[in-house]
Chain A
Amino acid sequence: MQYLNILIQELYKIFFLIIPILVSVALIVWLDRRVWGFVQKRRGPNIVGPFGLFQTLADALKYIFKEIIIPASANKIIFILAPIVTMTLALVAWAVIPLSEDLVLSNINIGILYLFAVSSLGVYGIIMGGWASNSKYPFLGSIRSAAQMVSYEVSIGIIIINVLLCVGSLNLTDIVLAQKNIWFVIPLFPMFVIFFISALAETNRPPFDLPEAEAELVAGYQTEYSGMMYAMFWLGEYANILLMCAMGSILFLGGWLPPLEIYPLDIIPAPIWMVLKILFLFFLFSIVKAIVPRYRYDQLMKLGWKIFLPFSLLYVVLTASFLFYFDMLPTKDFG
């Protein structure tokens, strides 16, 4: 009985975390298309509901009623599992994202490692989908994306080390609280830029959307997917993008903290600051999608391994030596 109570309480919390995320994913898809439209002097989706806000819901409804086609030569179990894995991993990571000092589902000590682990598992959804489709375009797309995601994870990992050196803890709440005096975007600005670009590559966003480059690969790993299974890939991708934005705002933009602790800014509740920062980063994401042409694949790999990796390693050495010589290393007494 006692376990049942705990279970119900936790399920209740999870329910109230999942629903806002799914709704905000729907809204963010709309925002993305609107921004994209405005940059290109179009209107974007503006018919369904006020300002076209319900466009994504209408799309989702359309996908639900479409037939799911499974290719005859596909490996059925893995083919069905792939979108489920993508969607689940995109949602599971939100368990540790703190929206304010106490508004977090589980405040674990290794929050940032957990986020990193979940985002590095994200490649499986794509690789499984591409392989199980048993056709050329999806397979090439998934191979591309696996190489791309593994490469850019390395630089994201090293950027995280930079932040952790300044904080001295892997806890996401501690990381935000360490930015009370100054957001890490100011001392670690080059790392913020590299993080942003790596996040674009990690989530397969343009200009790094080579796994689904329509000119060469039709739709990459999604080619054989239809109906709701395609929609799950799509929602999972956007949930991942939101997650990357949340990660960026926690690591560099001070999470739920207001820019200055002065009167009109600090009465705005903490979760609203967090949401505003996520939205700001997402706005940058969609602007980049609208204005930057696609990279060539060898250039992408060269950028990851030969430019970002050495540069962020060098910055780790710089940060560590700066903190060491000015005696600013965060230490914890072991009593």
Chain B
Amino acid sequence: MIIHAFFFYFFSIVAILSALMVITSRSTVNSVFFLILDFISIGCLFIMVGAEFLGIIILIVYVGAVAVLFLFVVMMLNVTHQKQSWFIGRKSTHIPSGLFVSIIILLELLVVVGGWKYKPNVMSSSTLQVSENISNTHLIGSVMYTDYFLYFQISGIILLLSMIGAIVLTYRKRENIKRQSYINQISREKKTSVEMKDVEFEKGVKIDD
């Protein structure tokens, strides 16, 4: 049990410290690396409480896909040059408005969490009946596709819609660029692509228009 406690505190401390580093580190790329470390330690905590499916899914989805895209964007935009400080150097206009929004969010959270009450008949985690023979992958599947089937489908549709929305927002039709079309390439024949022309002396002929 000592080893168990040791690993629990180790991962928790790493998670909290790296979360702090995400918001305090000066370089944006370093922030993203700490965010990745945070995700990994949270995944390890999930695995430690026996929810190995959730832990690995966090690794795959957040670390393997979302954080890669974060890193991608941060590296491409080179945000380090745009960094402004409230105290040192130029005054930033983003920080007051950001502060305003975050205070509102804090107030909302206080209202929601302050009024939180557990249902009187809620199960405590120690009395939960979990069979040793069935892996939690099976258990999650058997709940998600029966009792919560509609919610699961609706969340899928919301994700699909937001994906389509993002694509529509960034899509712009570019004209006058040459695209490769496999169909055109394969269906080219001698009849349609080669043409004999009689060229008059010292006049030339206009092709390719």
Name A residues whose Cβ lies closer than 8 Å to a Cβ of B.
3, 78, 108-110, 113-114, 116-117, 120-121, 123-124, 127-128, 131, 139, 143, 146-147, 150, 153, 170, 298-299, 332, 334-335
Contacts and interface: CB of A to CB of B under 8 A. Distances in A.
Given A150-B69, A332-B138, A113 B57 contact: yes
Contact of A170 (B3, B76, B137): B137
A131 B29 contact: yes
Interface of B: 2-3, 29, 33, 36, 52-53, 56-57, 59-60, 63-65, 68-69, 71-72, 75-76, 133-135, 137-138, 142, 180
Contact of A146 (B29, B57, B72, B135): B72
Nearest to B136: A109
B64 A153 contact: yes
- Shortest Cβ-Cβ A-B pairs, 5 listed: A120-B64, A117-B59, A109-B135, A113-B56, A117-B60
Contact of A113 (B3, B60, B72, B133): B60
Given A131-B71, A170-B135, 19 more contacts: A109-B52, A109-B135, A109-B137, A110-B52, A110-B56, A110-B137, A113-B60, A117-B60, A117-B63, A123-B64, A124-B68, A127-B75, A139-B75, A143-B72, A150-B65, A299-B180, A332-B134, A332-B138, A335-B133
B136 to A, nearest CB: 8
A110 B138 CA distance: 11
Nearest to B63: A121
A121 B134 CA distance: 28
Given A117-B64, A143-B76, A146-B68, A3 B3 contact: yes
Contacts of B137: 109-110, 170
Contacts of A109: 52, 135, 137
Contacts of A332: 134, 138
Contact of B65 (A108, A120, A127): A120
Given A109-B137, A113-B53, A113-B60, A131 B75 contact: yes
Contact of A108 (B52, B59, B60, B68): B52
Contacts of A146: 68, 71-72
B29 A334 contact: no
A334 B138 contact: yes
B162 to A, nearest CB: 17
A170 B2 CA distance: 31
A3 B56 CA distance: 26
B51 to A, nearest CB: 11
Contacts of A116: 60
28 contacts: A3-B3, A109-B135, A110-B137, A113-B53, A114-B56, A116-B60, A117-B59, A117-B63, A117-B64, A120-B60, A120-B63, A121-B64, A123-B68, A124-B68, A127-B68, A127-B71, A127-B72, A128-B33, A131-B71, A131-B75, A139-B75, A143-B72, A150-B65, A332-B134, A332-B138, A334-B134, A334-B138, A334-B142
